Amino acid sequence: MAQVNVAVIYYSATGANHRLATVAVEAAKEAGAEVRLLKIPELAPKEAIASNPAWAKHHEETQDVPEVKHDDLDWADAFIFSVPTRFGNIASQAKQFFDTCGGLWAQGKLANKVVSAMTSAQNAHGGQEATLLSLYTSMYHWGAIIAAPGYTDQALFAAGGNPYGTSVSVDNEGNWLQDVTEAVKVQAKRTVEVATWIKKGRGL
Ligand SMILES: Cc1cc2nc3c(=O)[nH]c(=O)nc-3n(C[C@H](O)[C@H](O)[C@H](O)COP(=O)(O)O)c2cc1C
């Protein structure tokens, strides 16, 4: 099988999406991919971070995670994004990062990437599906090939049955309210599998 490079790219204030991302990293490695865990740069002022102990703690604990760079996007055959739901949409940090990618897009370097996405929200019906669909809208503009999990495995039903991507409800401190580990693993492995098909099919 062709070796694929996977960038697992997340934004997380209180840790829920960091946890989703780290599970995806391990599963993608198990599936044979070369994997990078990368965080989207924080934009919030220091005062805002300091005002929320869970946010401040997570911010401090993840200082060593490298920030995503455009070179990482160029390197990767597939992206797995994990981004919190904010007012039914992706966190602005992620949108800001996407908006810096015009140069790569113009060079055609974002086309044909395999993309899958995950999210968290406080409420089960607080916009999880809308967030994933809105992230994928940007990806269509990049020329991505969306590898949604659909209902391809029983683990996806057990995790709430979101066919667009794994989503998890969380408390105020970013703790998962249910264990979606198996669904994340299925999604990450499927992303690697689809990226392998695409890479082989392109003769790369
Ligand atoms: C500004 C803001 C808007 C939010 N909007 C929603 C929302 O629309 N629906 C919802 O269920 N949760 C909402 N939340 C809760 C977040 O989704 C939750 O904090 C996040 O999933 C935690 O992920 P993290 O630990 O990776 O930061 C919001 C939180 C913030 C700070």
Q: Give the model confidence (pLDDT) of 148-178 as tens digits.
A: 999 999 999 999 999 999 999 999 999 999 9
- Domain with 62 in it: what CATH number? 3.40.50.360
Task: Give me the numbers of helices (H) and strands (E) for the chain, helices first please.
Answer: 9, 8
Q: Is the pLDDT of residue 1 over 60?
A: no
- The 3-class secondary structure across 86-140, one letter per residue, is ECCEECHHHHHHHHCCHHHHHCCCCCCCEEEEEEEECCCCCCHHHHHHHHHHHHH
In this prediction, residue 80 carries a pLDDT of 99
Rounded CA separation 25/9 (Å): 10
How many domains in the chain?
1
pLDDT in tens, 95-128: 999 999 999 999 999 999 999 999 999 999 999 9
pLDDT in tens, 176-197: 999 999 999 999 999 999 999 9
Full domain range(s) for residue 30 = 5-201
User: 184 to each of 33, 42, 203, how far by Cα in Å?
Assistant: 15, 24, 29
Both tokens assigned to 132: 């994933």
Which atom of ligand 1 lies closest to the CA of 13?
27
Q: Is the CB of 82 under 6 A from ligand 1?
A: no
Residue type, 127: G
pLDDT in tens, 82-92: 999 999 999 99
pLDDT in tens, 22-69: 999 999 999 999 999 999 999 999 999 999 999 999 999 999 999 999
In this prediction, residue 2 carries a pLDDT of 76
Q: Is the CB of 119 under 6 A from ligand 1?
A: no
Rounded CA separation 48/50 (Å): 5
Q: Is the CB of 169 under 6 A from ligand 1?
A: no
Backbone angles phi, psi at 110, to 5 degrees: -105, -5
Which atom of ligand 1 lies closest to the CA of 85?
17
Which atom of ligand 1 lies closest to the CA of 169?
21
Its pTM surpasses 0.75 = yes
Q: Is the CB of 157 under 6 A from ligand 1?
A: no
For the chain, the distance separating the N- and C-terminal CA atoms, rounded to the nearest angstrom, is 11
CB 174 within 8 A of CB 127: no
In this prediction, residue 124 carries a pLDDT of 95
Cα angle: 139, vertex 155, 167; to 5 degrees? 40
CB 87 within 8 A of CB 60: no
In this prediction, residue 178 carries a pLDDT of 97
Q: Is the CB of 123 under 6 A from ligand 1?
A: yes
